[in-house]
Amino acid sequence: MSSSETEDGKKNHSDEGEPSANDTASGGEADKGIGTEEADTLVSLLQKATLLEEQPHQKKVLDDLSLKGIAEHINNGHIHDIVIMAGAGISTSAGIPDFRSPGSGLYHNLEKYKLPTPQAIFELSYFRESPEPFFQLAKELWPGIFKPTPCHYFIRLLHEKKLLLRMYTQNIDTLERVAGIDEDVIVEAHGTFHTGRCLECRHVYTQEWMKEKIFDNLVPRCTQTIKCSEEDEEEFTCDGVVKPDIVFFGETLPQRFFLCAGEDLQKCDLLIIMGTSLVVHPFASLVNRTHFQFKIVFVIFNVRGKSEKMSRIFFLVGKNCLRLYLNLEKSENPYDPLMALLGSASSFKFDHNDNYRDVFHQATCDDGCFALAELLGWKDELKKMIDTEHEKIMKANATTEAGSGID
């Protein structure tokens, strides 16, 4: 499926991965009333107390804040734990559309499904009522139809050279797995087609089982037999709709996303962001969530006198973590220390005089990865890997088609 979801951006590389859940406070938002101003003041004081506004003239992590400088830093052995953040842009050259690019984006080409809004195809409430449009789209974008891109193989190369700590992807196309990147280092932040679950009884189904139903133009439905009660011998078939384990709007991100982020971003010494314009949260806020975290619980009394709790995990930006952004255009979010703290804006300082660790390289994701691979002396190795793996995929597909009698 379109490797990811969301984002306004340029064609090919500014869209993000699958629909994501909102990063809301655990206790819900309190009514505007007594206590909210105090909470705002506390955040402001916290900003100052934690020196969130990074001090100007801080010593640069690199003297040369460029792609070349980063390559030299890696080759000199100063980088050991790279974290990748990837959006839909890394899969567009495989033929998978991003979500919001004007004209070519997925949301701009859904008229035939007669949806109330383009986003409805990924809304759980609409899916429960009308699952057919989603499965029609899923058939068109089903994983396995497309080959991984140079970006995917560059990330695999990082893993084989023991430089990759983790890859966080918004994409649901599973091309990371197809490229041969170990499952252990992948965090599919917006879920995956690899498994599916019944919306009623939560029974788990495989990708192969779902594919058979979807390609027969059927809505996958649960076949589990359920007893009415332990005493009653009467049984019935569940028949609930089986939804792939991708994150729809309004759903919570997988627990693995939060568990891994808490540890990985403390170790990360190079964060590479590619193919995303950093619009969808909480995924986009990983840019700021490096090195240190703490939790604050606000107790707010609303106008009815009822106390409500709001809690949030805050991550402060690690001061020595380099950040490389590969994209066709810079993130439009301006630097705002307070919003960076709250995880609602990027904190890049590309054009600031006090930029000491942020690098922007304007290019398609594939071109950016090839450029970095060349500077690292890996270009020929990367090209050989791409050719070899694509040939394997074509042979496997040919064998499958021959076995099924497809002309």
| pLDDT confidence of residue 32 | 41
Give the pLDDT band of residue 67 (cuts 50, 70, 90): very high
CB contact at 8 A, 389 and 179: yes
How buried is 151 (Cβ within 10 angstroms: 0-12 exposed, 13-18 middle, 19+ buried)?
Answer: buried
CATH number at residue 381: 3.40.50.1220
Dig out the tokens for 377 from the structure: 């002396």
Domain assignment present for residue 82? The answer is: yes
- Give the chain's radius of gyration (CA, Å): 23
How buried is 127 (Cβ within 10 angstroms: 0-12 exposed, 13-18 middle, 19+ buried)?
Answer: buried
| pLDDT confidence of residue 295 | 45
Domain assignment present for residue 360? The answer is: yes
Beta carbons within 8 Å of 48's beta carbon, 6+ residues apart: none
Top pLDDT among 82 and 400 is at 82
Say whether 89 counts as a known binding-site residue. Answer: yes
Q: Which residues carry out catalysis?
A: 190
Question: Which of 163, 197, 161, 158 has the alpha carbon at shortest distance from 176?
Answer: 158
Domain assignment present for residue 16? The answer is: no
Average pLDDT in the chain: 76
CB contact at 8 A, 362 and 328: yes
Domain assignment present for residue 126? The answer is: no
Domain assignment present for residue 4? The answer is: no
CB contact at 8 A, 237 and 163: no
Task: For residues 54 and 28, give the distance between their C-alpha atoms in angstroms, rounded to a whole number.
Answer: 30
CB contact at 8 A, 344 and 282: no
Domain assignment present for residue 278? The answer is: yes
Give the pLDDT band of residue 49 (cuts 50, 70, 90): very low
Say whether 170 counts as a known binding-site residue. Answer: yes
CB contact at 8 A, 298 and 311: yes
Domain assignment present for residue 235? The answer is: no
Say whether 222 counts as a known binding-site residue. Answer: yes
Question: Which of 386, 305, 367 has the alpha carbon at shortest distance from 92?
Answer: 367
Say whether 201 counts as a known binding-site residue. Answer: yes
**What's the number of domains the chain is made of?**
1
Top pLDDT among 63 and 34 is at 63
Q: Identify the domain containing residue 385 by its residue range.
A: 40-96+148-190+253-404
Dig out the tokens for 292 from the structure: 């240190």
Domain assignment present for residue 211? The answer is: no
Say whether 198 counts as a known binding-site residue. Answer: yes
**Tens digit of each residue's pLDDT (9 = 90 or more) over 78-109:** 999 999 999 989 998 988 765 555 554 455 55
Phi and psi for 178 in degrees, rounded to 5? -60, -35
Report the DSSP pairing between strands 204-206 and 225-227: unpaired
Say whether 276 counts as a known binding-site residue. Answer: yes
Question: Which of 316, 289, 311 has the alpha carbon at shortest distance from 298?
Answer: 311
